[in-house]
Amino acid sequence: MTTKGYLRRGNLLEILSEKDIEAVHRGALEVLGATGVRFESKRALDLLKKNGCKVDEDLNRVRFPSGLVEECLNQCPSSFRLKGRSPKTDVNIGGNTLYFCPSPGMRMLDLETREQRVPTIEENHQAVKVLDKLETVNLAASYTPYCELQDVPGAMLLPVSAWSRMKYFSKPCRVGASQSSHIWEMQMADVAGMDVFAAMEAAPPLTWYGDAIDCAWACAERGLPVEIGCGAVMGGTGPATVAGTLVQSTAEMMAAIVMVQLVHPGTGILANSFVFAQNMMTGAPAAGGIEVSLFQVAFNQLWRAKYDIPTMIGACGPSSSQIMDVQLGFEKGISTALAAVSGASVVNIHGGIHVELTYHPVQSIIDDDIASMMGRFVEGIKVDHDTLALDVINEVGPIPGHFLRSRHTIDWWKKEHHLPKVSDRKSYHDWIREGKPTIIENAKQRMHEILESYEQDPQLSEKQNEDLDRILEEAREYYKSKDLI
Amino acid sequence: MDYQNEIKEGILAYEKEKVIRATKDALEAGMEPMKLLDGVTNALNIIGQGFNCGDLFLPELIYASDAAQASISLLEASIKERGEDRSRKGTVVLGTVQGDLHDIGKSIVAALLIANGYKVVDLGTDVSAEKLVGAVKEHQADVLGLSALLTTTAAGMESTIRHLENDGMRANVKVMIGGGATNANYASQIGADAYGETAVDAVGIVKELLS
């Protein structure tokens, strides 16, 4: 399996004026100076104090001088490389390349009952194998893909998820940030011979918890990149306004960047937007709304144009729909399209269904079509002598001429046209004959084919498999000793 | 020089000029046209299989069959000169009926039939009943395939069949119809022998009509 991502051509969608961007930037600096951010970590407080921040040790509150923030922002590289299990799956995050990543879900959507159910470890393996073989999947998030598994205690979920991925997934992965899971995950990645990056995800408003700090610290110390995520819910844990949540999120992320750059200057940063809107009917986060896309487009513009730091749009995968239906399709399609055309480096899309609560591998296969479609879009339109096609237009002439007979068509159609894998493109007659299949049935068929023919590429040695199993056992012993199992 | 392979490679690489040049060179070098025809058929089999399993698409199918047809025409002329006769599965005359300029569906049928080893005489679009019947006579066609996309032009199919009857030709040739304006009911209504929903159906229909 080779994955390359999509190289952009053409202009990016922008939604804010330069003045707007400046206003958000200054607003964030003002919040950092006036109110500051809570850091639940003694060593982080010490480090920040030593470097000129004002620290209120009773409240764990840190207020940041603007100069330090800007200095640390400038230290962030505009791109960084992550090694997959083989050079075929390396990624170079940043620059003009668009990548895609799965979007986890707590449980599995049961396609028969339309209800959620807890998947087995074997079902997790299957979902991971499918992702491994999808060309548009370039890297993985921490939980891949389920966050709850039958017969696996809570403390072991992240280590088991990482173990499943290291065995059946050949692309770079993000480690989890819960109960020091990153320790085992980094060891497993060393065995599998691939890079991981940290997950440092905020607890809004304006708070960083110990687990997130520890995970980022450990990776940064080793020179591994850190994904810094903002996850406010507009109207709940962030202001109801898009601009307000942009200010708050920027302040949270700037605070984290200062800490990470002080731990290890030059650490690669991936700015992740995991912002939703508050569902004012239920109190849950509302995914798939267009206000979320407004936030994401502005977020992409701010982080790329102002700070030149690559972005991940983590909140495209989940929708508010409960099942794999038309609503899921249009919410994912619209949000992914807008994230892609506004300059995201990574868009998390594959497999997620209802607001991070459900996932299904069949959906990941459908999302492979959405991802490749948007990938083709960002590659843009090539205009040159060959593509302008004057020679062939003149050769074919008016009706009854047509271009299906032309060599030019053979040379170009596959480069110019997007060819989906499971979206329906059949003629009416063939569709009737084949039993009127929907895209879901087409995707089930593809899933079956992927699983039937699955092979590890590259193969893990016996020693690597044994080492992965051993590390998982060590994690189990550790959590037992901590009374977490 | 392995001309047979050269022709095959040319078809598979979608290089029509190479196919024509190799065919001419081979004939000049005294190669047996019947043998060269095997190379063409071989390449077309590969293209036809590729299309059926979804690896190849219409542009490749049509271009390859066009290139093959160019070679076949040269080879047949040579076979005729030598007084030999090409044994083949059958001859199909194709055309979009008068008043209708839709070429693509009919061209796909032509490409698929060529790829399956039939001799195809494609008269193009907007073809009069007289011309169609004339071609059936001239080429001693086994099957006449008529296409129409427009309901307003489909009547041209019926008039072609009447024309065949009036000329006493109807018993000599099977008629199959297809295209957006047609269906199985219409086929039986106008006295056609078969109706094909899709281009791929046409191959099976011809095979059945000739069995």
B187-197: pLDDT as tens digits: 999 999 999 98
Residue of B59, B107, B125 lying closest to A410 (CB–CB)? B59
B197–A413 C-beta distance less than 8 A: no
Residue A117: predicted pLDDT: 97
Query: DSSP 3-state assignment of A98?
Result: strand
DSSP string, A384-447: SHHHHTHHHHHHH-STT--GGG-HHHHHHHHHHS---SSS----HHHHHHTT---HHHHHHHHH
Q: Distance of alpha carbon B63 from its chain centroid, rounded? A: 13
pLDDT in tens, B115-155: 888 999 999 999 999 999 999 999 999 999 999 888 888 89
**Mean pLDDT (whole number) for A347-355:** 96
pLDDT classification of A476: cutoffs 50, 70, 90: very high
Q: How far is B77 from chain A (nearest CA, A)?
A: 24
pLDDT at A250 over 90: yes
Residue B152: predicted pLDDT: 85
Distance CA A153, CA A81 (A): 34
B197–A400 C-beta distance less than 8 A: no
pLDDT at A429 over 90: no
Residue of A402, A406, A427 lying closest to B104 (CB–CB)? A402
Residues of chain B in contact with residue A405, where contact means CB-CB under 8 angstroms, are 62-63, 66, 107
For A232-254, b where at least 16 C-beta lie within 10 A, e where not — what string?
bbbbbbbbeebbbbbbbbbbbbb
pLDDT in tens, B85-109: 666 789 999 999 998 888 888 888 9
**Mean pLDDT (whole number) for A1-11:** 88
pLDDT classification of A211: cutoffs 50, 70, 90: very high
B101–A399 C-beta distance less than 8 A: yes
Distance CA B108, CA A355 (A): 47
B124–A413 C-beta distance less than 8 A: no
Check whether domain B3-81 has CATH 1.10.1240.10, yes or no: yes
Residue A143: predicted pLDDT: 84
Percentage of residues in chain A with pLDDT exceeding 90? Answer: 94
Distance CA B114, CA B136 (A): 17
Are the folds of B3-81 and B91-209 the same?
A: no
Q: What residue ranges do the domains of chain A occupy?
A: 6-15+74-379, 385-416
**Mean pLDDT (whole number) for B1-30:** 94
For A421, the closest chain B residue by CA position comes to B54
- Structure token pair of residue A267: 């650490």
Distance CA B7, CA A472 (A): 60
Residue A350: predicted pLDDT: 97
Domain boundaries A6-15+74-379, CATH class: alpha beta
Q: What residue ranges do the domains of chain B occupy?
A: 3-81, 91-209
Q: Are B191 and B176 in contact (CB under 8 A)?
A: no
Q: Which of B194, B198, B135, B196 is nearest to B163 (CA)?
A: B135
pLDDT classification of B10: cutoffs 50, 70, 90: very high
Angle A206-A231-A290 (CA atoms, 0-180°, nearest 5)? Answer: 130
Query: DSSP 3-state assignment of B204?
Result: helix
For B100, the closest chain A residue by CA position comes to A400
A407–B63 C-beta distance less than 8 A: yes
Q: How far is A253 from chain B (nearest CA, A)?
A: 48
**Mean pLDDT (whole number) for B39-44:** 88
Residue A147: predicted pLDDT: 92
B59–A429 C-beta distance less than 8 A: no
B57–A413 C-beta distance less than 8 A: yes
Q: Within chain A, what is the greatest distance between any pair of CA atoms?
A: 83
For B63, the closest chain A residue by CA position comes to A405
Q: How far is B129 from chain A (nearest CA, A)?
A: 19
Using DSSP bridges, classify how beta strands B143-147 and A226-230 pair: parallel, antiparallel or unpaired: unpaired
Residue B86: predicted pLDDT: 65
Given the structure tokens 């060179």, which residue do they identify? Answer: B25
Q: Are A309 and A268 in contact (CB under 8 A)?
A: no
Domain B91-209 architecture: 3-Layer(aba) Sandwich (3.40)
Residues of chain B in contact with residue A408, where contact means CB-CB under 8 angstroms, are none
* End-to-end CA, chain A: 37
Residue of B60, B104, B198 lying closest to A410 (CB–CB)? B60
Helix segments in B13-57, DSSP class H? 16-28, 33-52
pLDDT in tens, A441-456: 999 999 999 999 999 9
Residue A265: predicted pLDDT: 98
Residues of chain B in contact with residue A404, where contact means CB-CB under 8 angstroms, are 58-59, 62, 104, 107
B104–A404 C-beta distance less than 8 A: yes
Residue of B62, B126, B198 lying closest to A405 (CB–CB)? B62
B66–A405 C-beta distance less than 8 A: yes
Q: Please classify residue A377 by burial: count the beta carbons closer than 10 Å to its beta carbon, then call 0-12 exposed, 13-18 middle and 19+ buried.
A: middle
DSSP string, A242-270: HHHHHHHHHHHHHHHHHHHHHHSTT--EE
Neighbours of B95 (CB within 10 A): 27
Residues of chain B in contact with residue A418, where contact means CB-CB under 8 angstroms, are none
B198–A402 C-beta distance less than 8 A: no
* End-to-end CA, chain B: 39
**Full-model pTM:** 0.92
Q: Which of A88, A82, A48 is nearest to A64 (CA)?
A: A48
